[in-house]
A and B are shown apart, each in its own frame.
Chain A
Amino acid sequence: MRTTTVGNMPRRDDVIAEAVRLLCEEGPGALTSVQVAAGLGVAQSAVYRHIRDMDELTAIASRTVVAELNALFRSMVLAPQNAWSRTGAIDRFGQLFADTAVDRSTTFATVDRWRYVDGELGDGIRQLLAEGRELIALVLESRWRSGDGQTRPLDDHETRVQRLHAQLIQDDMIAVARLARSDLHRREAVGRLAAQRLRAGWFAYVRDLNAAHGLPAPALGWAS
Chain B
Amino acid sequence: MTADGLRAPPKRSRRDEIIALAAGILREGGPTALTSVSVAESAGISQSSVYRHVASMEELAALASERVLTDLAGALAAAVTSADIDGETADDISVLASRMMGVMKESSTAYDVVDRWQFVDGPLGEAVRTLVDEACTTIAMLLEHRWRRESGWDGPLDDDVVRLQLAHARSFQADGHTVARVVRTTDDPATLAALTTVLTSRIIGGWHAYVADMQRQTGIGQRTGAAGISSA
Residues of A within 8 A of B (CB): 29, 109, 112-113, 115-117, 156-157, 160-161, 164-165, 167-168, 171-172, 174-176, 178-179, 184-185, 189-190, 192-193, 196-197, 199-201, 203-205, 207-208, 211, 217, 220, 222, 224
Contacts and interface: CB of A to CB of B under 8 A. Distances in A.
Contact of A207 (B163, B205, B216): B205
30 contacts: A112-B119, A156-B190, A157-B193, A160-B191, A165-B198, A167-B182, A176-B167, A179-B167, A185-B163, A185-B167, A189-B160, A189-B164, A189-B167, A190-B167, A193-B167, A197-B171, A197-B209, A199-B205, A200-B206, A200-B208, A200-B209, A203-B204, A203-B205, A204-B205, A204-B206, A205-B201, A208-B201, A211-B197, A220-B208, A222-B209
A116 B170 contact: no
Interface string B164-182: 1001101101110111001
B190 A160 contact: yes
B119 A168 contact: no
B115 interface: yes
Contacts of B194: 157, 160-161, 164
Nearest to A157: B194
Main SS at interface, chain A = helix
B213 A204 contact: no
Nearest to B114: A116
A58 B18 CA distance: 35
Given A161-B197, A204-B201, 14 more contacts: A115-B115, A156-B190, A157-B190, A157-B193, A160-B190, A167-B178, A179-B170, A189-B160, A190-B167, A197-B206, A201-B205, A204-B202, A205-B201, A222-B212
Secondary structure call for the B interface = helix
Interface residues of B, number: 39
A161 B191 CA distance: 8
A167 B174 CA distance: 11
